[in-house]
Amino acid sequence: MMKTIFTSESVTEGHPDKMCDLISDAILDAMLVQDPNSRVACEASATFGLIHIMGEIVTKAQVDIEQLVRKTILEIGYDKDEYGFNGNTCSIIRTLHAQSSDIAMGVDRSFESKNGGFENQIDLGAGDQGIMFGFACSDTKEYMPLSIHLAHLLTKKLANVRKDNSLNYLRPDGKSQVSVQYENGKPLRVDTIIIAAQHRPDISQWRIRRDIIDKVIKPVIPNHLLDKNTKFLINTTGRFVIGGPQGDAGLTGRKIIVDTYGGYARHGGGAFSGKDATKMDRTGSYAARYIAKNIVASGLASVCEIQLAYAIGVSKPISIYVNTNNTGKIGDEKIAEAIEKFTDLRPIALINRFELRRPIYKQTASYGHFGRNDLDLPWEKTDLVEVFKNII
């Protein structure tokens, strides 16, 4: 009998990095509303009193970016000077330019279509080279690792009790961390829960601890996962008043492990937020998750990790890797062959299948891009289950 502990973290939308993710995806969505063919690679950085918007955008859309950035910050909850950051008064700098023509020529028409493939079809090339991973497991009904699933539930609850005034002394910045004990690879119990919650300066540490346990942790974590040995660590420095961009600089794409599987599976390294669907960092990762989830949901394996690799300007992936951690009913090589046979992983096919030219991205910027049963995300559908059942 082998027992191990695995830990994942999540952050609220008021965390400075997540604020930048939200801003980037808000700009992307606004562009797509007016021009679904917008090419967007939009980054944001945040520091005390300042937001910097930068990147490459080609679009017919006319968007008031400054107004949109302020609106996003205010929605998060940074609307008072006493919070250390105020969307009404912060400075905003823009340094945006067009996408490189060298990149565009590979995206507009793929390598294959230039060399005799896909005749008379519009075929996009991948927007960059890269490796993308997708993962699914049977830990939860969402097919996500339990540690990241619970960590997201905690940060979302932390934001909710702030916004509905249940804990009206909380401020937008916050983090959670959950350590799950496994026995022979199956989740057994929660060993440790860490919460860092930004708060008003006049609130005592004992009250914050009591309220977070009673109104955030216990309503979220299933009782059967908690026991007398579960440790609750709340605001362990003793004070968390200075937060958000006043306490730490923020940057788009710096929470890629929070966005995906909490470190339980590998990550190719590319961030998601602020990137349109021609960017395979995003679309390829969504496709890999979709395939992995359908494989686990079909019963073909209880754990599945998929890697896709793309070359800039080339439409088809150059490799497909499958790892079921010895839980597959058939060999991983056979599963990879089935993926190649039954799925079309070209950028244009994925864009069409998932309808990725819609403004659906801002909602994913906080609390994870995967396992979101609260959202109708096309890459979370299980409509390939029968395909994978039939290859056994």
Q: Reply yes or no on whether 149 is catalytic.
A: no
**Given 6, 133, 135, 240, which residue is catalytic?**
240
Token look-up 């860092």 returns 196
Identified catalytic residue from 249, 309, 336, 349: 249
**Residue 374 appears among annotated catalytic residues:** no
From 39, 171, 175, 362, active-site residue: 175
- Active-site residue flag, 281: yes
Question: Could you say which of 149, 162, 171, 255 is catalytic?
Answer: 255
User: Would you state the structure tokens that stand for residue 231, as one six-digit string?
Assistant: 């440790």
Of 254, 289, 316, 346, which residue is the catalytic one?
254
Residue 254 annotated as catalytic: yes
Write down the catalytic residue from 35, 75, 248, 337.
248
**66 part of the active site:** no
329 in catalytic set = no
Q: Which of 18, 282, 362, 369 is catalytic?
A: 18
The residue annotated as part of the active site, out of 279, 293, 346, 369, is 279
Q: Which of 275, 289, 293, 346 is catalytic?
A: 275
Question: Which is catalytic among the residues 17, 21, 173, 276?
Answer: 17
- How far apart CA 169 and CA 8 sit, in angstroms, is 26
Q: Is 279 a catalytic residue?
A: yes
CB 284 within 8 A of CB 128: no
Concerning whether 30 is annotated as a catalytic residue, the answer is: no
Among candidate residues 13, 276, 281, 305, the one labeled active-site is 281
List the catalytic residues: 15, 17-18, 43, 56, 175, 240, 248-249, 254-255, 275, 279, 281
